[in-house]
């Protein structure tokens, strides 16, 4: 089964449904919601270096011992010969690579990706500081919701965590599009409660970003 990517996660019909959900919400509020899906938040080169180094070292040591060669001139070429194939293997096996990364590093990189994307997509330019980014980072298996100060000051962390769980559980059950639409609707309820639509409001930001 081919690996899902940001480009292939949704069918065209699902994309249209998500975009329609965002438009429906934004017609009732002065906020902006941008769902975003990326393949990964960072490429984690250290995991590849450490992992390939460890596996190459272990294999070279075992092979040298098994064949009765203790000379460094046997061990070193074998280590170098194995290093790049192992690096390629780790890069091509996301589940293995993810196990070589500390969860705290993953959390930090996903949060940084969300913050950078929030600025890049102009969510900080909303009139009442009511932009909301819903980030799905596929490699990390993480969902991150980032809201601007205007709405964040009026919503508890537990509510944002609830929206994250909503999307996460949907992904696990194979209902990613449904879960994302539900998350958009929930964000819309929060925005509509505190920031109803105002005269002159326009939809200036993308309603779905993939890639």
Tens digits of per-residue pLDDT, 187-211?
999 999 999 888 766 767 888 888 7
Identify the residue with better confidence: 142 or 79: 142
pLDDT tens digits for 7-63? 999 999 999 999 999 999 999 998 899 999 999 999 999 999 999 999 999 998 888
> What pLDDT sits at residue 75?
77
User: Is the pLDDT assigned to residue 2 strictly greater than 80?
Assistant: no
C-alpha pair distances (Å), 121 with each of 13, 33, 87, 129: 24, 11, 34, 14
Extended strands (E) in 52-186: 131-137, 142-147
Q: Is the pLDDT of residue 93 over 90?
A: yes
**According to the model, what pLDDT value does residue 203 have?**
67
Identify the CATH assignment for 12-42+102-210 out of 3.40.50.300, 3.90.960.10, 3.40.50.1000, 3.10.310.50. 3.10.310.50
The pLDDT value given to residue 211: 74
Q: What is the pLDDT of residue 167?
A: 98
pLDDT of residue 201: 66
Q: Are 36 and 136 in contact (CB under 8 A)?
A: yes
Average pLDDT, integer, range 171-199: 94
Cα separation of the two ends of the chain:
20
| Structure token digits, residue 163 | 């929206």
Q: Which residue has the higher pLDDT, 115 or 126?
A: 115
pLDDT reading at 1 higher than 60: no
pLDDT of residue 158: 97
Per-residue pLDDT at 62:
84
pLDDT at position 92 over 90? yes
Indicate the pTM of the whole model.
Answer: 0.89
Structural contact between residues 150 and 130, judged by C-beta atoms closer than 8 angstroms: yes
pLDDT score of 115 more than 60: yes
Question: What number of residues does the chain have?
Answer: 211
Q: What is the pLDDT of residues 129-166, one digit of tens each?
A: 999 999 999 999 999 999 999 999 999 999 999 999 99
pLDDT (average), residues 93-121: 97
Domain ranges of the chain: 12-42+102-210, 45-99
């Amino acid at each position: 089964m081919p690996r899902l990517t940001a480009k292939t996660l949704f069918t065209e019909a699902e994309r249209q449904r998500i975009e329609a959900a965002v438009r429906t919400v934004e017609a009732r509020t002065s906020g902006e919601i941008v769902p975003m899906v990326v393949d990964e938040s960072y490429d984690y080169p250290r995991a590849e270096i450490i992992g390939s180094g460890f596996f190459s070292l272990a294999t070279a040591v075992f092979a040298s011992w098994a064949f009765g060669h203790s000379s460094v001139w046997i061990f070193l070429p074998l280590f170098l010969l194995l290093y790049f194939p192992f690096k390629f293997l780790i890069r091509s096996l996301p589940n293995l690579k993810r196990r070589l990364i500390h969860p705290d590093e993953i959390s930090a990189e996903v949060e940084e990706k969300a913050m950078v994307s929030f600025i890049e997509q102009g969510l900080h330019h909303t009139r009442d500081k009511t932009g909301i980014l819903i980030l799905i980072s596929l490699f990390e298996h993480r969902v991150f919701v980032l809201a601007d100060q205007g709405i964040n000051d009026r919503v508890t962390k537990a509510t944002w965590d609830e929206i994250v769980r909503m999307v996460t559980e949907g992904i696990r059950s194979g209902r990613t599009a449904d879960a994302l639409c539900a998350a958009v609707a929930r964000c819309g309820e929060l925005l509509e409660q505190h920031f109803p639509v105002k005269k002159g409001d326009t939809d200036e930001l993308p309603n779905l970003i993939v890639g």
